[in-house]
Amino acid sequence: MISTVNYHIIKACNFKCKFCYATFNDIRTKGLLKSEQFRLIDKLAESKMFQKINFAGGEPTLIPHIIELIKHSKSLGFETSIVTNGSKIDFEWVKKVSPFLDILAISVDSFDEKANLDSGRNNNGTTFPFDQLIEITNACHFFGINLKLNTVVTQFNKSQYLTPLINQIKPFRWKILQATKVIGQNDKEFELVKVSEKEFERFSRQNQKGLNKEIKAVIETNELIQGSYLMIDQKGRFYDSSLGRHNYSSCILDIGVNQSLEQISVDTIKFKKREGNYSMIKNSTNAHP
């Protein structure tokens, strides 16, 4: 069984990345209430099937109570993780969440402003400042949160060499992903962003040259990504992308974890191939008080 569940808890995002495979444009109704979100996490814990919960979106830090949800998950025994564009957090946010958060993943596709503007990784023309990124990453190192970076390879960054600055940031894990088409999510603009297998392989090979040995590069092709993630949407439904589009289960709160899982398909072999089953529970004795 896949040990990590990715909870895409919110549809809203302050960035408009053209390659985003989790726009949820196919969902027209509102998500779960705050109390239902907590109850859903309780259900996942009661099932004893999952080791790690990763909060994603949209942009999960737009939720005012996201730290409460992380804290609650930690109290139930989950290894906790969040993936964010970083624009809504700072040193103090990292400090506040640090007792409860094991992994903080930041999406960084480029250090070039034009590339981030062209790809849509910006908020009405305002890109994520490098100084803010350094502030957040330094806070992670200071407070003992494991830092991870995610980079999606597209037409806008395919020729870039990011490694020197990646080495400066010092994540424990750098995930390099090929832009992936998901019908109903990003297919309308995908022709503008897609890269070929050769282009993706070239980027991945080039950016592993000179990479610090302490940083693990994880390379995820289209083929490996499709169907290898176990996900929950903002309405509390498991979903998968095995057939190139989102396939949703019934709500977990209505029929339970086991029955909901039976309604989707996830490839555990691909999950293992992309090394998804790893643990980074931080040592609280090493974390700064």
> What is the domain partition of the chain in residue ranges?
4-273
10-residue averages of pLDDT along the chain (289 residues): 93 96 89 97 97 97 98 98 98 98 98 97 96 98 97 98 98 97 94 97 98 97 94 97 94 98 94 85 45
pLDDT value of residue 142: 98
β partners of residue 55 = 7, 82
In 240-279, which positions are buried (b, 16+ CB within 10 angstroms) versus exposed (e)? bbbebebbbbbbbbeeebeebbeebebbeebbeebebeee
Count other C-beta atoms under 10 Å from residue 181's C-beta. 18
CA distance 31 to 235: 4
CA distance 30 to 115: 33
Count other C-beta atoms under 10 Å from residue 32's C-beta. 20
pLDDT value of residue 288: 33
Q: Which CATH class is domain 4-273?
A: alpha beta
User: Is the CA virtual torsion 114, 117, 121, 126 positive or negative?
Assistant: positive
Q: Angle, nearest 10°, between helix axes 66-75 and 34-47?
A: 20
Task: Evaluate if pTM is beyond 0.85.
Answer: yes
Tell me the two tokens of residue 165. Answer: 């600055």
pLDDT value of residue 29: 80
pLDDT value of residue 1: 73
pLDDT value of residue 277: 80
| CA nearest neighbour of 156 among 196, 188, 201, 119 | 119
Q: Name the pairing type of β-strands 52-56 and 79-84.
A: parallel
CA distance 242 to 265: 7
**How many helices (H) and strands (E) are present in the chain, helices listed first?**
12, 10
Instruction: Write down the residue that tokens 């109390």 correspond to.
Output: 35
pLDDT value of residue 68: 98
pLDDT value of residue 284: 43
Instruction: Write down the residue that tokens 């970076």 correspond to.
Output: 149
Cβ contacts of residue 102 below 8 Å, gap of 6+? Answer: 52, 79, 80, 81, 145, 146, 280, 281, 282
Tell me the two tokens of residue 44. Answer: 């996942």
